[in-house]
Chains A and B, each alone.
Chain A
Amino acid sequence: MGTGLGLGVGIAALGVGIGLGLIGNGALQGMARQPEAIGKLQTAMLIALAFVELVFLLTVFVAPFLIK
């Protein structure tokens, strides 16, 4: 049981890590190209980060109940 759980959470963490990296990449590129838009970009970036993070949290909280 523990192995499956660990594997599932690991896969979720992999995907979410890629997603967070992509968001950071895009935001940093945008900030570097247009430094005057940093405020707006940061807001949008944090909101996107929150939504991606939520997916991982849902996985973490739903997975134990699915496996039982």
Chain B
Amino acid sequence: MDAFLINGPSIFASADAMSAKEPSIWGLGAYIAFVLVILLVLMSYAKKGLSVRVFKNPVTSLFEQLYLFIENMCVSSIGQHGRKYIPMMMVFWLMIFVGNIVALLFPFAPTADLSFNLGMALIAVCYVQYEGVRANGLLGHLKHFTGPKLSGAMVAISGLIFTIEIISELMKNVSLSLRLYGNIHGGHLAVEAMNQLGNKIYVPLGVLVLLLIKLLTCLVQALIFTMLTCVYLSLVTHHSEDHAEEGHTATAH
């Protein structure tokens, strides 16, 4: 037992072994290209089945269901003007989901690498800022960070709120990428540890027990990344609707 504790599969102690398992940047690029090829093949096959009436191609109807799901998510969390963000959300969902699923069949997944996740989170956050600026204008977008309108000496507090909001905006990046990385990479480590546990009886316990749970994790992580991006978008762009309403009532008067 003691020997097992010292020499056994330790999740943390073998930092070198962990990094040794990760491929180089070219390997990561190859895996990302692989995911993109899978997506392209699937979607071109789905596009073939497009028709005016009923979709007979099963892949097409699968993608239709996915589209409806993403549309429902966008509309319910952003509002009626959330429809124009569907393509971006769809790309995020598909990329993360297929990137996660790849790990169940192949030795590595692009989403188990922090750099890929950080890149994707950067794209998401920058896209949110871009949409915020486009919806409210640069000044309106910056004003959105200062919180409620204060007067007199309370302006200093507005400055404080501004700083905190900017920091939280930067931390969105970290939280998005670290959540995805931690879940996927941690799941891989857990499968490895379970496999080593069953090594003595020649049964890959991790593969048998944990893969189904990992399938659920893949789905939920893709969902959460997309949903959080939707929520950030709704936080940033919901003022435009108020302004539109104000303008409408102003013209009505």
On A, residues with C-beta under 8 Å from B are 1-2, 5, 39-40, 43, 46-47, 49-50, 53-54, 57-58, 60-61, 63-64
Contacts and interface: CB of A to CB of B under 8 A. Distances in A.
B231 interface: yes
Contacts of A39: 72, 76
B231 A47 contact: yes
Given A46-B220, A57-B178, 18 more contacts: A2-B5, A2-B13, A5-B12, A39-B76, A40-B76, A43-B227, A46-B224, A46-B227, A47-B231, A50-B179, A50-B224, A54-B175, A57-B183, A60-B182, A60-B186, A61-B182, A64-B12, A64-B15
Interface string B218-253: 001001100110010000000000000000000000
Contact of B10 (A2, A58, A60): A2
Given A2-B10, A39-B76, A64-B15, A53 B179 contact: yes
Chain A contact residues: helix, strand, loop or mixed = helix
A57 B186 contact: yes
14 contacts: A2-B13, A39-B76, A43-B73, A46-B227, A50-B224, A53-B183, A54-B175, A54-B178, A54-B182, A57-B178, A57-B179, A57-B182, A57-B186, A61-B178
